[in-house]
Amino acid sequence: MSEKNEFVNLDNSRNDEQKQVMEKILTEGFCPFCRENLDKSELEPEIRDIDLEYWNVRKNRWPYENTKVHLLIIVNEHAEKISQVKPEAWAELKKIIDWAEEKYKLESGVLGMRFGDPKRNGATVDHLHGHIVTANITDREDPKYRPVRFRMG
């Protein structure tokens, strides 16, 4: 884990409940995505029907609006930049994407990952993680279609 004590950016929180949890994390000064802190981070439970070494996967407790599926993919070792992740982990990420496509019957979606300073990239947590997201309705011709907004800065 990193030596710093600010791992969350309150400005990027999307609702009051998320902000309250992040304020607690900020006060206690721990990284909510480091393995040793996951139990006190108030996240959704880890999905364990895929065998992983470098990442953990869970549903997002605060999914983006208009999503059918919103998974968090969190690298196990603390990293803030893509260059800090082991090459083997990237092969395992492909395994996760394949698994998610099959498990959730995804015909389309987004894989999004921010890195670096959350004040510049829109992330709430300064620990490398990705999102697999698909909209409730993916047919843009459907009158009920609503886009999913993924903040990037």
Domain layout of the chain by residue ranges = 10-135
Dihedral sign computed on CA atoms, order 115, 110, 16, 56: negative
- Two tokens at 78? 């603390």
Query: What token pair was written down for 116?
Result: 């670096």
At 152, the pLDDT band (50, 70, 90 cuts) reads confident
Instruction: Name the pLDDT band for 123 (thresholds 50, 70, 90).
Output: very high
Q: What is the pLDDT of residue 153?
A: 77
Residue 13: predicted pLDDT: 92
Q: Max CA-CA distance within the chain?
A: 50
Tell me: pLDDT of 3 over 90. Answer: no
Closest to 109 (Cα-Cα) out of 149, 144, 69 = 69
What are the residues facing 67 on neighbouring strands?
135
Position 19 pLDDT exceeds 70: yes
pLDDT beyond 70 at 114: yes
pLDDT attached to residue 5? 64
Give pTM, 2 decimals.
0.91
Token digits of residue 144: 């009920």
CA-closest candidate to residue 58, choices 2, 94, 100, 25: 100
The Cα 153–Cα 117 span in angstroms is: 10
Over residues 93-119, the mean pLDDT reads: 95
Mean pLDDT (whole number) for 48-58: 97
Say if residue 22's pLDDT is above 90: yes
User: CATH class for domain 10-135?
Assistant: alpha beta
